[in-house]
Chain A
């Protein structure tokens, strides 16, 4: 399991096709991990690109951390990861909260990002997007899992339920994730977003609650194109091959 030190913390990374000329860096979403890309999306991109995936702090197999879930800290981590891997510029893609991190990265470090793909990034001022944090409880998790099983068809067993419960408990009640996210609520309304001068592909589920946010971003960013994909917020799971091919075409052209 490849683990590297970034800003003095252990970060779990996975790389494919290291010899390729250009790099695609993939950022996963909150309460998820790099496996959202590992099995389907990354191998397709790796036919042409060097692909780098990493687990965000306290997620997957990266080190747990109490603080620093705001977008500045998250992009400091990403910048540190690029430095640790000697990557000067990358094509960047992020899903959900990872989409916000990717967008922030392109705004803060424009010279390091070639093209940008934002998949299903929510508007952090939307209470529903943040809401799960306020409502979290064991009952919430069990309810969430019941719904979650509709799309994945896998019923979560006792050990997984415990594992997930421990992760949520840790993130919700011990780390600063809640307050850090609330502090970011106006991120998409900041004028700098409209100044983004980077080819940007916005991928949103046609039936997603976040589609409106995609449309608003498309209005704001002059160099963006919005493509609806069949599905809801879970499009990387629902349509991994389609998503990978769209990202691939966009980065290669």
Chain B
């Protein structure tokens, strides 16, 4: 649900589950079923998310965590190579550190 969480810090497993839920909402269940989403999954290569889908994903993070995480700002500080190599584990670590 897109609500700002008010309770305590999530552990990495909980963040992983939440990210999986957001990815499913963005790209659709039928595609997620065919994929094995792991912390190694890259956004562009493995999950095949395009930029408008990453916008949706960013909006979900913003809606859930509010101002405590500047996910878009973090993404915009990356160059193209970093973005291409971005995987789920890196996002989980970033969110975990920000909380």
Chain A interface (Cβ < 8 Å from any Cβ of B): 1-2, 14, 33-36, 38-40, 43, 55, 60-61, 152-160, 163
Contacts and interface: CB of A to CB of B under 8 A. Distances in A.
Given A38-B51, A39-B76, A40-B76, 10 more contacts: A2-B59, A34-B52, A35-B50, A38-B55, A39-B72, A154-B45, A158-B48, A159-B27, A159-B48, A160-B48
Contact of B45 (A39, A61, A152, A157): A157
A14 B55 contact: yes
Contacts of B50: 35, 160, 163
B1 interface: no
Contacts of B59: 1-2, 14
Interface in B27-57: 27, 31, 44-45, 48, 50-52, 54-56
Contact of A61 (B27, B48, B52, B76): B52
B80 A153 contact: yes
- The size class of the interface chain B forms with chain A is 20 to 34
A159 B81 CA distance: 21
A92 B91 CA distance: 34
7 contacts: A2-B59, A33-B55, A34-B52, A35-B55, A43-B76, A61-B56, A154-B45
A159 B55 contact: no
Main secondary structure of the interface of B (DSSP, over half): helix
- List 4 A-B pairs, minimum CB-CB distance, nearest first: A35-B51, A157-B48, A33-B52, A39-B76
A35 B52 contact: yes
Nearest to A155: B45
B84 interface: yes
B8 interface: no
A71 B89 CA distance: 45
A43 B73 contact: yes
Contacts of B76: 39-40, 43
A152 B80 contact: yes
A60 B75 CA distance: 20
A154 B48 CA distance: 9
Contacts of A157: 45, 48
Contact of B72 (A1, A43, A152, A156): A43
Contacts of A1: 56, 59
Contacts of B56: 1, 61
A40 B51 CA distance: 12
